[in-house]
């Protein structure tokens, strides 16, 4: 592997509730090469979303080291991580996280405006992305007026608006019908072909099959990894059979 854009070593994450401590991640080691598309699958409760939150600097590991885009993130403060995320990471949340008071166009333009881009340029870029995802006619609707699938596509457009070094996606097609899901996957595949690094959590075997590599997470540990381009017939199906939505 070339120099990784992401390197995690012995990541642990535990949560204490009263006198009980629950260990969510149990020593995750992983590296992602620049331009690679990695899919993460595993049973519900295996720690997939927690892992993605840590990789994006939204949360900190209890122990272990993490370097992303040349920056050590473990042990850093929230304001420091927030400033770093703004310029390096795009995140597609499972729950969309759109601002309800803004239109679809406003939500997509927001990260560009916060980065100092002029209003006209940011809005033009936002409109082009929405049109690419089949949402040109909904650009001026408030986020609350959109269906779940439409909101997810707006969230993806927002995540890629700043051309992030690393794109993290938590179930990017989970709320979408087949046609919408295909639009999202087309955009992801197009960005990947242009060198975008992607780490994606998914329950959908067909979605995961688009990635370069599959990591299978179980009980807070990576228990299997497989380079999908080198798969033997039927091997992908056997690998993901441990995954349960």
pLDDT tens digits for range 97-142: 899 999 999 999 999 999 899 999 999 999 999 998 889 999 999 9
Residue 157: what pLDDT? 93
Task: Say which CATH topology domain 4-240 has.
Answer: Rossmann fold (3.40.50)
Residue 2: what pLDDT? 62
Residue 235: what pLDDT? 43
Say what the pTM is.
Answer: 0.87
Task: Name residues whose C-beta falls within 8 Å of residue 80's C-beta, 6 or more positions apart in sequence.
Answer: none
Residue 229: what pLDDT? 67
Question: What is the distance of C-alpha 163 from the center of its chain?
Answer: 14
Residue 3: what pLDDT? 75
Residue 1: what pLDDT? 53
Residue 183: what pLDDT? 82
CB 204 within 8 A of CB 40: no
d(CA 34, CA 19): 42
Token pair listed for 45: 């409760």
Taking 70 as the pLDDT cut, the residues of the chain under it are 1-2, 229-245
Residue 238: what pLDDT? 42
Identify the sign of the CA torsion 217, 34, 213, 198: positive
Longest pairwise C-alpha distance within the chain: 54
Residue 152: what pLDDT? 86
Residue 149: what pLDDT? 84
């Amino acid at each position: 592997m070339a120099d990784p854009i992401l390197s995690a070593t012995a990541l642990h994450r535990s949560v204490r509730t009263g006198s009980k401590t629950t260990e969510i991640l149990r020593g995750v080691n992983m590296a992602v090469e620049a331009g690679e598309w990695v899919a993460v699958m595993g049973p519900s409760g295996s720690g997939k979303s927690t892992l993605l939150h840590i990789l994006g600097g939204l949360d900190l590991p209890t122990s272990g080291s993490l370097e992303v885009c040349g920056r050590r993130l473990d042990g850093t403060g929230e304001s420091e991580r927030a400033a770093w995320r703004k310029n390096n990471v795009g995140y597609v949340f499972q729950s969309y996280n759109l601002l309800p008071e803004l239109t679809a166009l406003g939500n997509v333009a927001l990260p560009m405006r916060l980065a100092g881009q002029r209003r006209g340029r940011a809005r033009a870029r936002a409109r082009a992305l929405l049109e690419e995802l089949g949402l040109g006619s909904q650009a001026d609707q408030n986020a609350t007026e959109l269906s779940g699938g439409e909101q997810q596509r707006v969230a993806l457009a927002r995540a890629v608006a700043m051309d992030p070094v690393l794109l993290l996606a938590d179930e990017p097609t989970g709320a979408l019908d087949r046609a919408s899901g295909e639009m999202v996957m087309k955009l992801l595949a197009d960005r990947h072909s242009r060198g975008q690094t992607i780490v994606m959590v998914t329950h959908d075997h067909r979605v995961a099959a688009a990635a370069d590599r599959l990591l299978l997470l179980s009980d807070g540990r990576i228990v299997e990894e497989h380079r999908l381009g080198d798969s033997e017939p039927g091997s992908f199906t056997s690998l993901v059979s441990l995954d349960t939505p």
